[in-house]
Structure 1
């Protein structure tokens, strides 16, 4: 619920960045919970570094 957009970026050097946009914090928190379960169950052995989650408010858009 509340999902707006998702972006996956290959920053090079083995660094990947994903950005998700939600209408509210509750939607974002539920997504993080589900994503953590998926990564733990399916991708943990493929990722050299644990995911980092950062949240904040959109202050500008173009």
Structure 2
């Protein structure tokens, strides 16, 4: 399994960002083969975190690409700062 994590800081409207992700990005990421889980989390204080888990590395990297395009096209005013992006092999899980 592989995971991709993106941390967004300075989010101007977390509720609207969540709505746009739910309605627009979730259908896109569901199309990526091997998706096991996706989460969009409001961590408070203008921080939001997305986590996607895939069966393989290709899926995780594809999600990073799709997220970048979606943010650019649909979320840029709400997510003014570039995200911190991390990905890697899952080595423990429950």
Alignment of 1:1-62 (within 5 A): 1-62=33-94
Instruction: Could you tell me which runs of 5 or more consecutive residues in structure 2 were left unpaired when the two chains were aligned.
Output: 1-32
Q: Deviations over 1:7-58 (max 9, x none)?
A: 1221110111111000111111111111111111111111132122101111
Q: Report how far residue 6 of structure 1 moved.
A: 0.6
Secondary structure at 1:60 match in 2: coil
Structure with greater contact order relative to length (CA < 8 Å, sep ≥ 6): 2
State the TM-score, normalized to the length of structure 1: 0.87
- How many residue pairs get aligned? The number is 62
What's the RMSD between the two structures over aligned residues? Answer: 1.1
Name the structure with the higher strand share: 2
Structure 2 contact 41–50 (Cα < 8 Å) conserved? yes
Counterparts of 2:78 and 2:34 in 1: how far apart (Å)? 29
